[in-house]
Structure 1
């Protein structure tokens, strides 16, 4: 397979890219550049299909980028909104209560979970995603959701890579035998150790749960990704304890903190101290802009904060930040379709990051940064020898892809075509043309 006249991020000019046996085998300056591709400020004016022969595509100056990474999702919750009831308050804790009722009322059905999860993955993949890190609820004596998502992971492996986090939705110690279920889930095939310390019954139990998370990660040689401080409370500071443990146990770069919305309330003095610790521990972050904008800020007095972690502060502090969809039509979030450009749009707006410093490489937040969280950086990206998992965006730059919410016109996963799509075009009526 050959892709001609592709624009690569952080590289001048256009390039021809060759793929063989599922990997990138050659990346060279373009041999022939179409007349409008080299200088076109945007690709919205380029017509026609990219495919020019059986195994040759002409990007015509559009960007070839790695497939998007959704750094935080809940596939086992997908497409369950309204079962057994809607979240009328819009709060995180009502959503958790609804999910407990969902399980107690017998809605946890393996076949239905698989169907809902597969549909969610298809939605994500249709928007350019090729890598998903999903949390899966293991506070269930039967581990039904885990078994379902393990099967889905295998069934979709040819067109999407799924990484599974053992997630104790109702608490490691707050839920009966939660710690044993966590360990059993890792034995059965979960890839990453999760947690939710702020939902344990007390501060002491929360700290104890973090200790247990690190013990499991060491015992089974797993990465860590914890729902951490997802609460509108500046006194919630499990993140600092996680950073300390990462250093003490020599697990720098192996820990991801998800949500961390309490950081939005930290005072500057404590934040400065915390950022230094986070850098030393090389903690990574998974931030979910749309969901936390919806869930947080309900229980505070005016002025109402929006309750999203300070993305810009984390990045300027030298920390790795990736974005996630988090939910697709479930008790926590009633909509969502895995459109990572939409997630990026929200994140940059709320983070006050619509300046050239961030717009120029904004796709990092939904590509390479997520790959770092997943621990796949050594085989992710457009480079000779890497698996050919990439997309062509209908835009020439990061900024324009965000600006126009550009379509994905071609998606490859491990060298195979996942889908191709013709550019959308508008034909104006005579009244407009005149």
Structure 2
């Protein structure tokens, strides 16, 4: 099988001719699979799914019998302006504030070319592991200015035929923040991005700050993605102000709260009240297990908390929740490979999901983020969507999430962009 794919790699990678993937196991809702063919049109979209499909003479037929075909992965919360900065942004405290201070020092002298190169490297690694869409929050403040988002905007345009890159104009709040600077720059910053973001918990006037973010998003007609209450202090909650703004500015279905770590520290009744309001206002959530496991709870002497939000309860309660990488090899998270399946596993383990919820973890890196990013029409295994696919030698969704694949092919807009095989070790008992 591997030899067949290697022989076809060059031919498929040329793209722009119909391709029939025949006999694969198609991932369905809930993690089940069914054997079917996928016909990919010359423009890179899924033309049809079924059996005994009619194809033209120029169609390239690829036998994927026995292989699992999944929608590609979506990493809807990264910080590509920070990625791979660990060697020169030390964070000895290991805390969130320590990471912010470490990156702020670098941001004052960051070269756009350096930001571009590091971000491109991480995007390459993510794509090779099956991710075809990323949402990246990009610092904009007096330190970073506009350099990060301008560098990432260039990458967004260059990669548009392969990967979807959404940029969040991440308008940072600082203690003693100059709101005059924010007012003077926010509309220009929002114009460069696709989404509006910020972090209310570190603002000295969080309600004012939240209102400014939503007002700017409403003026520009863009969605909102907030770093909301990435802490465990139950005395400092900003959900009501944020949810009030969702309602006031008509941002239902266009707002995401990322992290929301403090929900895990609230009494259940208070959490459920907030969760119900999120459901009513169609507000999604994103959990970032790597960052919150690493940064949170370091001040506790006994049984430090996991730092994640109530992942299982939010998912089972009806909130659309995704899982994402957050930071990769920087002062916020010193590890990371760009592998969304790794994040799905961390989410299942640290979020206290059950072993029979592996398919839900898969949903949190595919369909859930597609919905929250507004990509649902272009993503997934259905006619009309982009042929963004991950084809592996796994036998089911559960095994894909649980242990990964030894052979993986990644299709982006109908083109084979990566193929990876692990040569399994052989053992000769007589040796």
* Alpha-carbon displacement from aligned partner over 1:154-185 (angstroms, at most 9, x marks no partner): 12222211000000234497256134333211
Residue 344 of structure 2 aligns with which residue? Answer: 344
1:326-337 aligned at under 5 Å gives the runs 326-337=326-337
Aligned residues: 403
Q: Which residue of 2 aligns with 1:122?
A: 124
**Contact kept? 2:311, 2:352, Cα under 8 Å:** no
Give the drift of 1:347: 0.5
Q: Give SS of 1:218's match.
A: helix
- 1:182-219 Cα offsets, whole Å, 9 max, x none, are 321122x2000001100112xxx111111111111111
Q: CA RMSD in A?
A: 2.0
1:398 pairs with 2:359 = no
Residue pair 1:5, 1:30 contacting (<8 A) in 2 also: no
Q: 1:207-222 alignment to 2 at 5 Å? A: 207-222=207-222
Could you report, residue by residue, the CA deviation over 1:327-386 in whole angstroms, capped at 9, with x for unpaired residues? 111111112111111111111011221331x12343100001011111111221111111
Structure 2 equivalent of residue 259 of structure 1: 259
Partner of 1:387: 386
Q: Deviations over 1:390-427 (max 9, x none)?
A: 111331222101222225621111112212234x2424
Secondary structure class of the residue paired with 1:82: helix
Quote how far apart the aligned CAs of 1:102 are. 1.2
Aligned to 1:365: 364
Specify the alignment match of 2:97 in structure 1. Answer: 93
Which residues in structure 2 correspond to 1:135-154 (within 5 Å)? 135-140=137-142, 142-154=145-157
CA distance in 2, matches of 1:130, 1:299: 38
The aligned residue for residue 86 of structure 2 is 81
* CA separation of 1:54 and 1:337: change in aligned 2, threshold 3 A: farther
Counterpart of 2:64 (choices 28, 39, 59) is: 59
Q: 1:407 to 1:191 in 2, by over 3 A?
A: farther
Q: How far off is 1:302 after superposition?
A: 2.0
- 2:217 and 2:176 map into 1 onto residues whose CA distance is 17
- Verify: 1:193 aligned to 2:196, yes or no: yes
Partner Cα distance (1:368, 1:191) in 2: 20
Deviations 1:279-307 (A, max 9, x none): 11111111111111001011234231111
Greater Cα shift, 343-352 or 296-305 = 296-305
| Matched residue, 1:411 | 410
Q: Contact conserved, 2:289 with 2:308, CA < 8 A, in 1?
A: yes
1:191-340 matches, within 5 Å, as: 191-201=194-204, 205-340=205-340
For structure 1, the 5+ residue unaligned runs are 32-52
**Distance across 2 between alignment mates of 1:63 and 1:173:** 53
Equivalent residue for 1:429, pick from 419, 427, 430? 427
Change (3 A) 1:246 1:170: closer
Q: Match of 1:47?
A: none
* Correspondence 1:23 to 2:45: yes
Report what 1:6 is aligned to. 24
Change (3 A) 1:407 1:292: farther
- Identify the residue that residue 168 of structure 1 maps to in structure 2: 171
Residues 17-42 of structure 1: CA distance to partner in whole angstroms, max 9, x if unpaired? 111121111211268xxxxxxxxxxx
2:37–2:49 CA contact under 8 A, matched in 1: yes
Q: For 1:430, what is the secondary structure of its paired residue?
A: coil
Alignment correspondent of 2:7: none
Q: Secondary structure at 1:366's aligned position in 2?
A: coil
Q: How far did 1:54 drift?
A: 9.1
Q: TM-score w.r.t. structure 2 length?
A: 0.89
SS in 1 for 2:334: coil
Q: 1:190 to 1:171 in 2, by over 3 A?
A: farther
